[in-house]
Structure formats: C-alpha cells, structure tokens
Amino acid sequence: MTPRAHLVEWVDSAHIEPGAWVERDQATEVTPCGVLTVAWLLVDDDDRVVLAGHLTEQGHASGVFVIPKSCVVRLEPLSPVGLSRTPSPPSRGWRSLLPFGGE
C-alpha cells in the first residue's frame, strides 16, 4: 500500500485532570472528545487504522499510532494542492511516496 495523506475524524477517551479529586456529579459529566488528525495512512483493516505523522525517503515512519476502527468517524484521502511539477532530483525520491506524482 502506498502511503497517502488522510484526514481522520475520530473519537478519543477523555479524563479530568490526572490526580484531581472531583465530586461524583462532576465526574459523570466527562464525555469522549472528537479529534481531527491529518497523517499518512499505513494500514486500514477491519480492526484498526495505523497512521504516521512523518515519512522518510528511505521508507521509515515516525509518530506512528493506531486508532481502533470502532473509534473512526470519517477517513478521507487528501488531494494535493500546488505540488511542484519539477521532478525530484535523483537523490530525492519523494515523488515515489506520492500516488499523485506531482501531476
């Protein structure tokens, strides 16, 4: 699978400040929070999506995290805007990572 940038809308757990004592009534008001993430999609299967915040030309990924599929509200591929049409120098292989290749 060629990585492609995606917008992910998902639901995450939430908590009141760690270690804080609160009234039980206040504790019952805590709700999950909605999150928007833009990242490279590495895996999309029945159970999870795996995303990376950063990719290198050498095929390494950083900022990798997984979101349970049941928490994903929306997963949309992003379209490139304004990418240079100038070919990458041979020492730079960025275009090989991008399915749109600058076109």
In a domain, 103, yes or no: no
Could you report the per-residue pLDDT of 6-43, keeping only the tens digit for each? Answer: 999 999 998 888 888 999 998 898 899 999 999 999 99
In a domain, 92, yes or no: yes
Work out whether the CA dihedral 17, 19, 23, 28 comes out positive or negative. positive
In a domain, 28, yes or no: yes
Q: What is the number of domains present in the chain?
A: 1
In a domain, 47, yes or no: yes
Stated pTM of the model: 0.72
In a domain, 86, yes or no: yes
Structure confidence at residue 3 (pLDDT): 82
In a domain, 56, yes or no: yes
Phi, psi torsion values for 97, nearest 5 degrees: -80, -20
In a domain, 102, yes or no: no
Please indicate whether residue 8 or residue 94 has the higher confidence score (pLDDT): 8
The whole-angstrom separation of Cα 103 and Cα 95 is 10
Q: What is the domain range of residue 22? A: 4-97
